[in-house]
Amino acid sequence: MPYYIKRKPKKKKEKPLPLFEKAGIKVKKKPDLVAKLDKVFSRYIRLRDCMPNGYFRCISCGQIKPYEQADCGHFHSRRHMSTRFDEDNAHAECRACNRFSADHLIRYEANLKVKIGQMRFDKLAWKAGQPKKWTDFELVELTKYYKALGDKLSKEKGL
């Protein structure tokens, strides 16, 4: 007799599939939905802040650069889900400021207060401290909304 007791393997319980999966509709995971919305939202913000001539003014350093060099810079980090897709929190920023400048938030703050006003700035700071969990439905609807707005701006500005 062996020194251990041999047990029968447990049967795996099958989870019932939601109705839309049974119908053959592919369901995306939440990180995929957030990534898609990030991409669409970023495009919209860069187009929104772009001038009709195809250039934009960086909110941090104030330099005027071509649209291709624009990033969507967030004042409050993207880890704050409540302000991640807030239009007051995101503005066109040059790549150098957004990715490599350590002190860009100092100038960003001053220019943001001028752009949106002190009241909206304070509301944004409060909102950043609030917890937020996006539902799949909200993420899909926001993606559709910002894609439509981005396409409209792209046609208007010829980009």
Instruction: Name 46's Cβ contacts closer than 8 Å, sequence gap at least 6.
Output: 56, 67, 70, 71, 72, 92
Q: Residue 6: which pLDDT band, with cuts at 50, 70 and 90?
A: confident
- Please check whether residue 43 is in contact with residue 145, taking contact to mean a CB–CB distance below 8 angstroms: no
Joined tokens for residue 111: 């220019």
pLDDT of residue 2: 59
Name the phi and psi angles at 151, rounded to 5.
-65, -40
The answer, yes or no, to whether residue 105 has pLDDT greater than 90, is: no
- Bigger pLDDT: 101 or 64? 64
45/89 Cα distance (integer angstroms): 10
- The 10s digit of each residue's pLDDT in 114-127 is 999 999 999 999 99
- The 10s digit of each residue's pLDDT in 37-83 is 999 999 999 999 999 888 999 999 889 999 899 999 999 999 999 99
Under DSSP, is residue 128 helix (H, G, I), strand (E, B) or coil? helix
Beta 64-66 vs 90-94: how paired, if at all? unpaired
- Please check whether residue 85 is in contact with residue 41, taking contact to mean a CB–CB distance below 8 angstroms: yes
Please give the average per-residue pLDDT across 7-30, as a whole number: 65
Percentage of the chain lying above the pLDDT 70 cut: 87
Helix residue ranges, H only, the chain: 19-22, 30-48, 95, 104-116, 118-128, 136-157
pLDDT of residue 30: 79
pLDDT of residue 15: 64
If you search the block for the tokens 């990030």, which residue do you land on?
A: 38
CA atoms within 13 A on the CB side of 71: 12
Distinct helix (H) and strand (E) counts, the chain: 6, 4
Q: Where are the domains of the chain?
A: 48-157
Residue type, 4: Y
pTM of the predicted structure, to 2 decimals: 0.79
The answer, yes or no, to whether residue 103 has pLDDT greater than 70, is: yes
6/139 Cα distance (integer angstroms): 48
Residue type, 153: L
pLDDT of residue 24: 56
